[in-house]
Structure 1
Amino acid sequence: MSILLPADLRSDAGFRHESPVGPLEIVPLDPERDAALVQGWLADPRSAFWQMGDLDVDSVREYFAGVVADPHQDAWLGLRDGRPAFLVETYDPARILLVDVHDARPGDLGMHLLVAPPTTERTHRLTSAVMAAVVAFCFDARGATRIVVEPDVRNAAIARKNAEVGFRIVGEIDLPGKRASLAVLDADDRRAAQLAAAAASASGGADGAAAARPGGDLVSSGAPHLAPEPMTAAQRHLVAKAIAEFTHERLLAPIALTDPDADGLARYRLTTAGSDYVFTARRHALEHWAIQEATLERTVDGVPAALDAQELVLELQGELGIPDALLATYLEEIASTLASAAFKLTRDPSPAAELALAGFQAIEAGMTEGHPGFVANNGRIGFGLDEFGAFAPESGADVHLVWLAVRRSLSHLALGDGLSETSLYDGELGPDLVAEFSRRLRELGLDPAEYRWLPAHPWQWQHRIAVTFAPDVARRDLVPVGTSRDAYRAQQSIRTFFNTTRPERAYVKTALAIQNMGFLRGLSPAYMRHTPAINDWVAELVGTDPTLQAARFVVLREQASIGYTGDVYHRTAAPSAHRKMVAALWRESPLPRIGGGERLATMAALLHRDPSGASLATALVRASGIPADEWVRSYLDAYLRPVVHTLLAHDLAFMPHGENVILVLDGHVVRRVFMKDIGEEVAVLTDRALPPQIERIRQPVDAAERALAIFTDVFDGVLRHLAAILDGDGTLREARFWQLVAECIDRHASEHPDLDPAVDLRAERFAHSCLNRLQLRNTLQMVDLADQSASLLYAGTMANPIARRGGGTGAVGRASRVE
């Protein structure tokens, strides 16, 4: 609902403030006129912290009539372009709400703010502009000498906005329905915040326009995620995850202090070189630990101490086996992971119930965890503050790729079936932009026929290509010709971009020479030369298999790859990461392949919890309206059954982790999936015949190791996390979850009795392959991509939760609350 207020209420009778989003006005709220409008705002899930979502229009009218009639409080309506955009309450904290819990001073003014939930796209920096306007209103129009606020301690988004304008937290207090952070803002605080913002803005260039630069919103606000409150929450989460995952990999062994209660919860202690950690946790199948983060406490010499993930790593260096020469690199990845987590906490994350109903890219940007198993999973070493704000997936920022003309004789272009060079560029750039790029080459005296077009990440152009390949640019072997007209969004895999302007166009995967999760994220031109052929072969195999067709299982082909090889680094005796810095590939978009009523979500979303602890998986189950076991059965049929079939019927293993699988939802239920990242991560695990051009994907191993393609990558990498989430939410008992997994495996076996029985997915135990151990051993390169099998590290064996007998089934029964 949007109304335009009468002119007499929009200017003369109100307070006016000039802002970066245009003039903002604050006028008295009229309960009769505004009740229906405000009730709609309050009923939105994003307004949950106001605790008024259950009020009807009459109740809202009655409430604000009481506020307006009270001489100690007032209600105000904020306008943007003459239309209601926010709600403000002001009150005397000596008489309202904070009596006996706040030492009020003369001139104190309490304030509440609600920015209207967006009905379409959010306006960039609107909330920051509104907050500044309301602060000016309180000081300049209401005569306050100090403003007092008391947001819920869980409301990280408003904490960020309060910090931007200078509020200081002075303590926590208990108020009706919430634990609150009591914060104050006086004139000195306000002036200091304004000076800091002005200095940060001025450092960005002559025009001082920070918002016009990549990440300008972060700089102008002084990087509010780098503040005690969000960092404390990030530290607590990462320390809990580190203890859980390092224990899962048998690097640590917490000691039980109590027996498990009826819910399977017990108290544990972990003693390190310098600290004691005590926490409550539930143990699940596959040695999965679900630690209740709020219960985690650290003491040093018996004195309570702050949780600190880097300190934990230092204390555990011996147990973790990190080489001295690589310890600092791992600590840097931990620091960057903490910064990423704090940033996400201050980005006004959507509640899980809301995210479950959101679109594909909103879900992609809404993820907060990264890889569920790795502890240091958001390294991004090389990104500065501006780049983090501009290019991190959680920023949700539009990116325009840099396009280079690369000399044809010094590059290669590989194309998949049905694609030509002309159709590739016309389809992804459009004939007009191709003509414009060609014109720019001719203006330089160059012949466009001698060049190809290569997309580059803006960071890569700025920090690598323009520096590390400066002679190549000067020789005109690499020529920057412009930026994309289409806008793209970084995906969770960070170097892959989704086209938001033309979603039917391909993903673009770019080389990105930053260190992230044990790898420099480059792309090898030599390695990618056969990528389209590999994808065509896999797509044909999938497309002609009746079982996979019945499951509507689809691979998203990497249709084209391009790489530049004319640099000096390709002529050195030893290979190096420098050979992987100027390359890209194009992957099919899933959008043209979905029908009406279907929508998409990354499978990583199933493991997502919002800051309040609510899970997206449970939100989807509830939204579907079907029993949880039926929902899980549909998901397993769509995801598990096809990857089992490709392994057993074709000796073909994918890397089916959360970010490599796109779920197709219909009625909030997973009905089918798309598999991606084929060229780099697919493998044929036997000596079966292969076309010569795809021979590099052959990695023959014995039957026990072939089974690890399911045990490690699916059971341990995905399903143990999902089972624990659903069990912890009370959505589906863990024992029932693994029973459904066993039924899925057995159903496939009964339908395909002719398949090789050597790969036994219901064996009693399997080798415990450990991911963090790989990263801890070598933080610069976890595995040799040419021989991944030889790179693996094991920690004995684990009980199979779907074993036919013995340890597996028994372990599930003891670890979960079996009905």
Structure 2
Amino acid sequence: MLTDAVVAELHRWVTHPRAVFWQMGDASPDDVRRAYAELIADPHHQVLLGRVDGVPAFLAELYDPRQARASEIAQLDDLEPGDLGMHVLLAPPRRRVPGHTRAVFAAVLDACFADPAVRRVVVEPDVENAAIARRNAEAGFRVVREIPLATKTAAFSVLDRATWEQRRPRPDDHLTPATLAAAQRHLVTKALAEFAHERILAPRADGDGWVVDGLGVEYRFAAEQQPLDHWAIDPSSVERLVDGRPTELDVQQLVLDLADLLPLGDGVLPLYLEELATTLAGRCWRVAHPGPSARELADAEHLTIEAAMTEGHPGFVANSGRIGFGLTDQHRHSPESAAGVRLVWLAARRTVSRLSLGEGVEIDDLLPGKAARDRFDARLRGLGLDPADYHLLPVHPWQWEHTLATTFAPDLARRDLVHLGEDDAVHVPLQSLRTLADAEDPARPYVKTAVAVRTMGFTRGLSPAYMAHTPAINDWVHDLVAGDAELRSCGFEVLRERAAIGYTGDVFHASAATASAPQRKMVAALWRENVSTRLAEGERAMTMAALLHRDPDGVPVVRELIEAAGAEPSAWIADYLRAYVRPLVHCLLAHDLAFMPHGENVIVVLRGHRVVRTVMKDIGEEIGVLSDRPLPAACERVRMEVGDDERALPILTDVVDGYLRHLAALLDDDGLLEVAAFWRLVRDVVDEHAADHPALAEAATRYALTRPRFRHSCLNRLQLRDPRTMVALDDQAASFLYAGWLENPLA
């Protein structure tokens, strides 16, 4: 139906520069209305408006090429009985979604062949349209010949039913020998580098390269040793040799080859191999669905960048497995697919649930819109229940289907939990999978949900007991940061977790014997401020993980940012380090406050492609106060008792070794900045802060960030010990594993 809204949307699409081959660039809205009214009136022509997650996303025109009035190819002798003509137009994208075009194309072709009378689909694109030519060839279209038409020379092409059945996308299309080979080379290179960094392996020099010996196997590679025992290995040089003959690279086989050298806990080997398998699966998907170029990402908006990230944690080898996540889930719910997600809402009886709100927060500001709320209230009243007796609780659709509807079936049957239905708003997952952003309204807070998927040793739940004080902790950190003149001058901010809710009426909360049960963390959520609400005019947000990201051609995003800024690499990096390292050093020295500032937890704010400040997130679970300084009672859980050797590790381990080590190697490898020059810049930031704050000299001595060496805290050793319980959140420091000492590049 050609409503004014539909006409306006179609007019925006067909006049967009991307639709140049649609030949309606100068059309007025009235022109568009007339053109499509004529097509709709033609009994041999169908006009279909396609939606994705309820939002108009593409236009499909299907027509009888012999009969339709708009057919330019009706007189072709090449046409056969059972032919169906097709045109497809995608809406101008609000953000780039990997695989979106392929998915739309497949949906339209499936619709074409749904009619058993259709034997072939025929198309006649402009021969100059290289993009659609690639898409047609991928789908299996065969170019018959070029034909002259009134406004173009067309490549008349056909796709028969049998070919489409062979070519149509399938959920496991990303699992091929080619994608696996690329994923294996990446993971084997990383395993050799990080295991050597953690001194699990001891490569020996041999000629111009290095060798690691296993059980009758050799791994050979070229590498440069850098500060912090970092091994910058050339991936193309890595070889696995058996009896002197090269064999295929396989990261799981590497673990078997070197099992006697790895600090594997009892019974851990199959668990770790599974973590590696799921990491490989994710890597294969990313290889098969290449994201935007580094040049595009340098100019992209926040959600597009989030979806494009490929690496996960830079230090862990098995860093992006999702145990419990299936093929369909990969396409429907993963951050890299960027598909829309609609939150499922439950009603949780107030007497067996807890809602915690930050200062000044109204719960109604966090809940769905009026239409959804009215539906939810009607659902409760239809069951004879009073909405006033319930809190509304958002859950991830994966969690509802795979965990809550079964594990919590008694709670649903008792009506302590009530399934209300889906939200109207479409969300997209951020890097962390279970944190979702409203795709259309950037002012809306992020929603972090519990998802019973195991990633890097943790089943991703949320504890109602643990979260009870989360908003209060966030408010305290926010007020501390906002009240510090130095942090204000840095532009440093935190994204507060403003509210948290959890259900406690299940049997797992009924006994002390189940105190550590993961099921206690399965029905909970929190709301976090959206970084978009913190941006001034001209500012743009980017996850700090992007500074380590290389595009499918190996080009680093940081190179494109530096070139777009027109800056010397050393000047650009110095600005970044002042925005990232300086406020973290100040928080530690002035307030004994430590963050966990890895790439995914930090958002860099750009202005003109230069980093001007940083914003920290994940405050409730990942901060610590490393002294006995007074704290509000609600914040006592963040106090951490650490020894003198561990006191500086929030900077030296988490920042210097955990993140900057990888950035230094990338910059050096790409010829942007030598490693030694990079570490001088980091030291300069620490020295500049000390010069500006002589009153903190005693704290600087106590923390000794420029000490000659520091304890070498190892992440992969934790995972190899037991990937299920790497770190105890209630005593993180006691969980750490060390491998001697590292020479401090800041010394």
TM over 0.5: yes
Alignment of 1:785 onto 2:729: yes
Deviations 1:714-746 (A, max 9, x none): 001110111111111111111111111001000
Shift of 1:121: 6.3
Q: Which one-letter code corresponds to 1:787 in the other structure?
A: D
Provide the rounded CA distance (Å) in 2 between the counterparts of 1:553 and 1:397.
32
Alignment of 1:693 onto 2:637: no
Q: Which one-letter code corresponds to 1:466 in the other structure?
A: A
Provide the rounded CA distance (Å) in 1 between the counterparts of 2:133 and 2:178.
12
SS at 1:394's partner residue? coil
Give the structure 2 partner of residue 763 of structure 1. 707
- Which of 55, 60, 73 does residue 22 from structure 1 map onto? 60
Give the structure 1 partner of residue 292 of structure 2. 350
Provide the rounded CA distance (Å) in 2 between the counterparts of 1:752 and 1:26.
78
Could you tell me whether the CA contact under 8 Å between 2:343 and 2:422 is conserved in 1? yes
Shift of 1:538: 0.6
- Which of 183, 194, 197 does residue 248 from structure 1 map onto? 197
Alignment of 1:191 onto 2:162: yes
- Which of 506, 513, 525 does residue 452 from structure 2 map onto? 513
Evaluate the alpha carbon distance shift between residue 479 and residue 129 of structure 1 in structure 2; reply closer, same or farther with a 3 A threshold. closer
Evaluate the alpha carbon distance shift between residue 476 and residue 333 of structure 1 in structure 2; reply closer, same or farther with a 3 A threshold. same
Provide the rounded CA distance (Å) in 2 between the counterparts of 1:119 and 1:782.
39
User: TM-score under structure 1 normalisation?
Assistant: 0.75
Shift of 1:481: 0.8
Q: Which one-letter code corresponds to 2:165 in the other structure?
A: Q
- Which of 101, 106, 109 does residue 126 from structure 1 map onto? 101
Alignment of 1:287 onto 2:262: no
Provide the rounded CA distance (Å) in 2 between the counterparts of 1:546 and 1:570.
44
Deviations 1:524-574 (A, max 9, x none): 000111101111111111111110011111111111110100000011232
Provide the rounded CA distance (Å) in 1 between the counterparts of 2:46 and 2:233.
48
Shift of 1:221: 2.1
Alignment of 1:775 onto 2:746: no
**Unaligned runs of at least 5 residues, structure 1:** 11-15, 28-77, 86-115, 143-150, 168-185, 198-219, 260-266, 804-819
Provide the rounded CA distance (Å) in 2 between the counterparts of 1:478 and 1:130.
40
Give the structure 1 partner of residue 546 of structure 2. 605
Provide the rounded CA distance (Å) in 1 between the counterparts of 2:398 and 2:102.
28
Provide the rounded CA distance (Å) in 1 between the counterparts of 2:558 and 2:184.
24
Shift of 1:509: 0.6
* Alignment map for 1:513-532 (pairs within 5 Å): 513-532=452-471
Deviations 1:252-284 (A, max 9, x none): 11122235xxxxxxx222221242222222221
Give the structure 2 partner of residue 200 of structure 1. none
User: TM-score under structure 2 normalisation?
Assistant: 0.82
Deviations 1:696-729 (A, max 9, x none): 1111213331101100000011101111111111
Alignment of 1:534 onto 2:483: no
Give the structure 2 partner of residue 80 of structure 1. 87
Paired positions, count: 655
Give the structure 1 partner of residue 8 of structure 2. none
Deviations 1:662-702 (A, max 9, x none): 11000101101110100001101111111111111111213
Q: Which one-letter code corresponds to 1:650 in the other structure?
A: H
* Alignment map for 1:408-447 (pairs within 5 Å): 408-419=350-361, 423-447=362-386
Shift of 1:433: 2.8
Shift of 1:407: 0.2
* Alignment map for 1:314-463 (pairs within 5 Å): 314-419=256-361, 423-463=362-402
Shift of 1:494: 1.4
Larger deviation, residues 633-642 vs 270-279: 270-279
Provide the rounded CA distance (Å) in 2 between the counterparts of 1:630 and 1:507.
34
Provide the rounded CA distance (Å) in 1 between the counterparts of 2:289 and 2:602.
25
Give the structure 2 partner of residue 107 of structure 1. none
Deviations 1:213-238 (A, max 9, x none): xxxxxxx5242111111111111101
Deviations 1:300-357 (A, max 9, x none): 2222211111111122222122234121111111011111011011223111111111
Q: Which one-letter code corresponds to 1:586 in the other structure?
A: W
- Over the matched positions of the two proteins, sequence identity in percent amounts to 51
Give the structure 2 partner of residue 208 of structure 1. none
**Unaligned runs of at least 5 residues, structure 2:** 1-16, 25-34, 40-44, 51-58, 66-84, 124-129, 143-157
Provide the rounded CA distance (Å) in 2 between the counterparts of 1:591 and 1:440.
34
Evaluate the alpha carbon distance shift between residue 633 and residue 121 of structure 1 in structure 2; reply closer, same or farther with a 3 A threshold. closer
Shift of 1:122: 6.6
Could you tell me whether the CA contact under 8 Å between 2:429 and 2:436 is conserved in 1? yes
Evaluate the alpha carbon distance shift between residue 222 and residue 645 of structure 1 in structure 2; reply closer, same or farther with a 3 A threshold. closer
SS at 1:586's partner residue? strand
Could you tell me whether the CA contact under 8 Å between 2:122 and 2:159 is conserved in 1? no
Evaluate the alpha carbon distance shift between residue 164 and residue 130 of structure 1 in structure 2; reply closer, same or farther with a 3 A threshold. closer
Provide the rounded CA distance (Å) in 1 between the counterparts of 2:281 and 2:121.
36
- Which of 225, 237, 246 does residue 174 from structure 2 map onto? 225
Alignment of 1:647 onto 2:588: yes
Could you tell me whether the CA contact under 8 Å between 1:370 and 1:378 is conserved in 2? yes
Provide the rounded CA distance (Å) in 1 between the counterparts of 2:179 and 2:702.
50
Shift of 1:426: 3.5
Evaluate the alpha carbon distance shift between residue 500 and residue 4 of structure 1 in structure 2; reply closer, same or farther with a 3 A threshold. closer
Give the structure 2 partner of residue 207 of structure 1. none
Provide the rounded CA distance (Å) in 1 between the counterparts of 2:687 and 2:564.
29
Could you tell me whether the CA contact under 8 Å between 2:98 and 2:336 is conserved in 1? no
Give the structure 1 partner of residue 434 of structure 2. 495
Deviations 1:601-648 (A, max 9, x none): 000110111122111111111111011111111111111000111001
Give the structure 1 partner of residue 617 of structure 2. 676
Provide the rounded CA distance (Å) in 2 between the counterparts of 1:398 and 1:692.
40
Q: Which one-letter code corresponds to 2:101 in the other structure?
A: L
Could you tell me whether the CA contact under 8 Å between 1:127 and 1:161 is conserved in 2? no
Shift of 1:297: 1.6
SS at 2:447's partner residue? strand
SS at 1:330's partner residue? helix
Provide the rounded CA distance (Å) in 1 between the counterparts of 2:559 and 2:365.
43
Give the structure 2 partner of residue 217 of structure 1. none
Provide the rounded CA distance (Å) in 1 between the counterparts of 2:604 and 2:523.
31
Shift of 1:24: 7.3
Shift of 1:464: 0.8
Q: Which one-letter code corresponds to 1:530 in the other structure?
A: H
Provide the rounded CA distance (Å) in 2 between the counterparts of 1:301 and 1:25.
63
Provide the rounded CA distance (Å) in 2 between the counterparts of 1:704 and 1:382.
38
Deviations 1:760-815 (A, max 9, x none): 11111000000111111011010111111111000000001111xxxxxxxxxxxx
Could you tell me whether the CA contact under 8 Å between 1:160 and 1:224 is conserved in 2? no
Evaluate the alpha carbon distance shift between residue 573 and residue 765 of structure 1 in structure 2; reply closer, same or farther with a 3 A threshold. same
Give the structure 2 partner of residue 104 of structure 1. none
Provide the rounded CA distance (Å) in 2 between the counterparts of 1:117 and 1:482.
30
Provide the rounded CA distance (Å) in 1 between the counterparts of 2:92 and 2:443.
29
Provide the rounded CA distance (Å) in 2 between the counterparts of 1:643 and 1:520.
29
RMSD after superposition: 3.4
Shift of 1:519: 0.7
* Alignment map for 1:683-722 (pairs within 5 Å): 683-722=624-663
Evaluate the alpha carbon distance shift between residue 357 and residue 693 of structure 1 in structure 2; reply closer, same or farther with a 3 A threshold. same
Alignment of 1:799 onto 2:740: no
SS at 1:644's partner residue? helix
Provide the rounded CA distance (Å) in 2 between the counterparts of 1:449 and 1:118.
41
Could you tell me whether the CA contact under 8 Å between 1:428 and 1:505 is conserved in 2? no
Could you tell me whether the CA contact under 8 Å between 1:163 and 1:224 is conserved in 2? no
Provide the rounded CA distance (Å) in 1 between the counterparts of 2:137 and 2:677.
46
Give the structure 2 partner of residue 553 of structure 1. 492
- Which of 308, 313, 336 does residue 250 from structure 2 map onto? 308
Could you tell me whether the CA contact under 8 Å between 1:510 and 1:583 is conserved in 2? yes
